[in-house]
Amino acid sequence: KLFSLALALSVGAAVFAQEKKDATLNIVPLPQQVQIKNGTFKINANTKIAFDSEEDKKVATLFQDFLKSNYNLNLSVVKSASSNTIYFSSKNAKSTNAEAYELNISSDRATISGKAAGLFYGMQSLIQLLPVDKKASIEIQQASIQDEPRFAYRGLHLDVGRHFFPVEFVKKYIDILASYKLNTFHWHLTDDQGWRIEIKSHPKLTQIGGYRKQTLLGNYKTDGDYDNTPYGGFYTQDQIKEVVAYAKAKYVTVIPEIEMPGHALAALSAYPELGCGDKPGPYTAAQTWGVFDDVFCAGKEETFKLLEDVIDEVIPLFPSEYIHIGGDECPKTKWKTCPFCQKRIKDNNLKDEHELQSYFIQRMEKYINSKGKRIIGWDEILEGGLAPNATVMSWRGDQGAIDAANQGHDVIITANSYGLYFDHKQGPDQNREPLSIGGLSTLSKVYSSDPMPSKIAENNKKHVLGVQANIWTEYIGSSNKVEFTVLPRVLALSEIAWTQPEKKNWKNFSEQRAANQLAKLDQTNTFYRVPEVYGI
């Protein structure tokens, strides 16, 4: 009897503990530590927003703007905190991690403490705690949150080469990233179908390479009117600066990608002399998708001259530590028969075209390093020997990440074996999915992955900088469809990037926290796919 009483008590205690443990606030990604308290804090017209430093004031002002435009509440921003205050405080930051924050909500104030980025993330958490009903009185649960990210690199990519997206949308995209505490926007700016960044020393890159003839596309049936008129567009350097500054204010770093030596047809259409052989070209920007044999000639000095000129203009536009130089899917067909490439192989004692690819990447790396920046490349940059300081973005499974990290290189996980190809279908039922490239990456697949490959030796795990999802846009011809593709999977991405894996909880994520976010998105002009939370 005693035994069963003890059992009942311990079960009861366990259930109680379980309940407490499972009680979560509506925050995505799930914070590391949350203590929920009794009672609420009521924000009203007399509530003030306070700050410590000028940097803190920027975040305080962002919060003020948010309340004004979403809840029709115009609060004043003041220098010192008193009662009934939302207080952004760098003075009280405890962690050395610039992205960490604490959010303490008591009966008469909410204090967010952290350094600049941390304050911004604390604000995002606070925003998520505001009610779905924007006309209701604003009461938030008293609680105490201590939070910091698991990974330093939390990225989302957008391919603007296959389809072009206007600056206004790129900004909205950055807002989506930032609201889920992602901190890196990988801007895939060049591809076979379009060159999208103005390069003043080589204007034809955009004048010619920015447009393709729209006869598409045997394998592409909807989402655009493909009627032979030219399709394309590009960003001026002023627009690039505008986007980079916009992102910076949201603590998002923009990493530009300039593809080489493959995926280069748009560039070659503008400067055909950079193709292989004596009489290269003519070329046109690609009108179908895929991988094309015509790539930058690795034997001609002019190729490196143009790419160095491009890098010279790209570097001052992007404060990012990294420039991404692609490196993926470069067929060696043309290099095999090109006299210039063969001469280069011979002169440099290279074994074959794979080592020529490595020569290409290493040479560009050296140039970029000499300008004080580092390179990222897709995992094919491992081919023929990895450039000495390169960071590898692993997309063909995680073997590239494992090999690179075990060689002491930094890596970023983007493979679809982790559900990170957001151009893939979101559900298995073909009839419910819009046209897509195929593949399958469900919300639950993204959520269940842990972007830390177990085969990386313990002492090399520090080389896993983080995780990113890729949005290739062959079959995504409109901004609305980008949103539909990204949401809600970006919520799962944010949680695997930010939250410690043992804290993840699919049921709580899908049924409560993500659902709450979607209810909020309903009120904005943003598209998302309704997730089937069970079974996928």
What number of chain residues touch ligand TNX (CB under 6 A)?
A: 9
Asked if the bond preceding 388 is cis, omega within 30° of 0, the reply is no
| Contacts with ligand TNX, 375-414, as mask; x by CB under 6 A | ---x----------------x-------------------
Name which of residues 485 to 514 contact ligand TNX (CB under 6 A): none
> Binding string to ligand TNX for residues 49 to 68, with x set by CB under 6 A, is what?
--------------------
How is residue 526 written in tokens?
Answer: 């943003």
Binding mask 359-378 for ligand TNX (x = CB under 6 A): -------------------x
Return the number of the residue (296 or 378) whose C-beta is nearest ligand TNX. Answer: 378
165 binds ligand TNX (CB under 6 A): no
- Our CB check for ligand TNX shows the closer of 318 and 395 to be 395
Nearest distance, CB of residue 365 and ligand TNX, angstroms: 17
Pairing between β-strand 253-260 and β-strand 138-147 as defined by DSSP bridges: unpaired
H/E segment holding residue 110: strand 109-114
Q: Is 359 or 395 the residue whose CB approaches ligand TNX more closely?
A: 395
| Cβ-based nearer residue to ligand TNX, 380 or 410 | 380
User: Is residue 472 involved in binding ligand TNX (CB under 6 A)?
Assistant: yes
Alpha-carbon dihedral of residues 357, 359, 363, 364, nearest 10 degrees? 10
Quick check: 329 binds ligand TNX (CB under 6 A)?
yes
From 242, 308, 328, 532, residue interacting with ligand TNX (rule: CB under 6 A): 328
Could you say which of 322, 421, 422, 475 contacts ligand TNX (CB under 6 A)? 421
3-state secondary structure 404-471: HHHCCCCEEECCHHHCCECCCECCCCHHHCCCCCCCECCHHHHHHCCCCCCCCCHHHHHHEEEEEEEC
The answer to whether the CB of 251 falls within 8 A of the CB of 178 is yes
Instruction: Answer yes or no whether residue 148 interacts with ligand TNX by CB under 6 A.
Output: no
Q: How far is the CB of 66 from ligand TNX (least distance, A)?
A: 35
Minimum CB separation of residue 378 from ligand TNX in Å reads 4
Tokens of 66: 């948010």
Tokens of 321: 């530590």
Q: Are strands 101-105 and 109-114 parallel, antiparallel or unpaired?
A: antiparallel
For the packed helices 116-129 and 167-179, what is the interaxial angle rounded to 10 degrees? Answer: 80
Largest Cα span, the chain? 94
- Closest separation between CB of residue 328 and ligand TNX, Å? 4
Residue 102 or 474: which CB sits closer to ligand TNX?
474
73 vs 75: CA distance, rounded Å: 6
Q: Does 195 bind ligand TNX (CB under 6 A)?
A: no
Options 52, 403, 410, 423; binder of ligand TNX; rule CB under 6 A? 423
As measured in angstroms, the least distance from the Cβ of 256 to ligand TNX is 15
Please tell me whether residue 217 binds ligand TNX under the rule CB under 6 A: no
CA dist 325 and 327 (Å) reads 6
Q: Report how many helices (DSSP H) and strands (DSSP E) the chain contains, helices first.
A: 17, 19
H-run or E-run covering 121: helix 116-129
List the catalytic residue out of 302, 308, 329, 355. Answer: 329
470 DSSP β-pair partners:
421
Do residues 451 and 466 touch, judged by C-beta distance below 8 A?
yes
292 binds ligand TNX (CB under 6 A): no
CA–CA separation, 486 and 42 (whole Å): 34
CB of residue 423 to ligand TNX, shortest distance in Å: 5
Nearest residue by C-beta to ligand TNX?
472
Residue identified by tokens 């205050």 is 85
The total of other beta-carbon atoms located within 10 Å of residue 296's CB is: 27
**Known catalytic residue: 329?**
yes
Q: Does 435 engage in binding with ligand TNX (CB under 6 A)?
A: no
Binding site for ligand TNX (CB under 6 A): 328-329, 378, 395, 421, 423, 437, 472, 474
User: Active-site residues: which are they?
Assistant: 329
